[in-house]
Copies of this chain bind each other. A is one copy, B any other.
Amino acid sequence: MFDEICPSEVVPFRIGDKWAGMIIRCLEHGPRRFSELRIPLRTITAKVLTQSLRTLERDGLILRHVHTTPVQRVEYDLTPLGRSILEPLAAMCAWTEDHWDELLDAREA
């Protein structure tokens, strides 16, 4: 999903905007900082990451925490609502893995 070689465009599911699904997965195992998120999401720009995070925050799926001690730190974390979406998201990913070959075959033909 995060690999540039991986043709993610084949995945027919999307949550929110282009990056929202991947952001949610990045937060699966605990809070992450803005700059930490930029690592797995290599090609995302700061502006677009900010946009996606704001949308997710507005929708109540993540929370934004600002720490000013001593330097600026901003952490993002899943809300219970955001965490609850991991289950249907996993179902989607499982389906995609199961039918990956069929999807690629269909594209070729």
Contact = CB atoms under 8 A, between A and B. Distances in A.
A107 interface: yes
A5 to B, nearest CB: 20
Chain A interface extent, by class: 20 to 34
Protomer copies:
2
The 4 closest A-B pairs by CB, nearest first: A60-B106, A14-B14, A88-B95, A88-B91
A103 interface: yes
Nearest to A14: B14
Contact of A88 (B84, B88, B105, B109): B88
A50 B109 CA distance: 19
Contacts of A12: 15-16, 20, 59, 61, 85
